[in-house]
A and B are shown apart, each in its own frame.
Chain A
Amino acid sequence: AQSVTQLDSHVSVSEGTPVLLRCNYSSSYSPSLFWYVQHPNKGLQLLLKYTSAATLVKGINGFEAEFKKSETSFHLTKPSAHMSDAAEYFCVVSEGGGSYIPTFGRGTSLIVHP
C-alpha cells in the first residue's frame, strides 16, 4: 500500500528566501513521485517528477526535489521564493506494481510575504 504525508499544511516565507515543502511517502514498490502546484482557480500543474532516474530532480520555475529512499522523503525546495510561487502544492505517489492509482498528499499552502 502507498501513502504520502505532507508535513506542513501551511508554509510562510518572505520573498527572496528559500522554500522547503516537506513530503514523506511509503510504498511497497519503486514509486514514481510527483509535485504538482495549484494556483487559485487553475488546474494542477506538474512541477517535477521522479521515476527512478537521477535522485535530484529539477523542475519548472526553479524548483527541485531530492528523492531519499533511506528517509522515504521527496522534499521540494527552491533557493529564492517569488511572490508568484504562492499557491497550493501537492506531493503525489504512484507505486506501480500493477496499479497506477496515485495517492495525493493533503497539500501545503505556500504563502509568500513581500
Chain B
Amino acid sequence: EPEVTQTPSHQVTQMGQEVILRCVPISNHLYFYWYRQILGQKVEFLVSFYNNEISEKSEIFDDQFSVERPDGSNFTLKIRSTKLEDSAMYFCASSEMRVPPADTQYFGPGTRLTVL
C-alpha cells in the first residue's frame, strides 16, 4: 500500500539555524499539507499546497516558514531561523483532491524537531 514518507525522523538543531523537513507524498496525490504537534497539544494545520502554490495557510505559517516541491516527488518545509517554540512533531500529509470523497488525507510518520 502506498504511504507518505518523511525524513529525517528526528532533527536536532540550534536556535537560529535553518532546517528543511522532507516528505514524499503518495505519487498520484495532488494536494499536500504540513501540520505540527507541539508536545501535549493539538495537531495544528500549517499549510496546504496545490499546483505549485500555497492553497491555504494558518496564522502559524509566518514568514519564517516556506514550502516547496522541488521535483516531482519531494515536498519540503523550510524553517529559516528556528526558535525554541518550533520544537514539535511535524507531519506531512497528501490527498488526491480537496473535496469529498477523495479528500482523505494520508499522513506520514512525522519528523520530531528539537530546537536547542
Known: A43-B91, A44-B107, A45-B107. A101 touches B56 (CB 8 A): yes
The answer to whether the Cβ of A108 comes within 8 Å of any Cβ in the partner chain is no
Report the separation of the CA atoms of residues A71 and B108 in the bound assembly, to the nearest whole angstrom. 33
Question: What are the residues of chain B within 8 A of A99 when measuring CB–CB?
Answer: 56
Any A CB within 8 A of the CB of B103: yes
Asked whether, in the complex, the Cβ of B103 is within 8 Å of the Cβ of A32, the reply is yes
Interface size on B, residues (CB 8 A): 26
The secondary structure that dominates the A interface is strand
Stretch in contact with the other chain, from B14-22, B43-51, B65-73, B77-85: B43-51
The distance in angstroms between the C-alpha atoms of A105 and B41, with both chains bound, is: 9
Within 8 Å by CB of A100, from B44, B56, B91, B106, lies B56
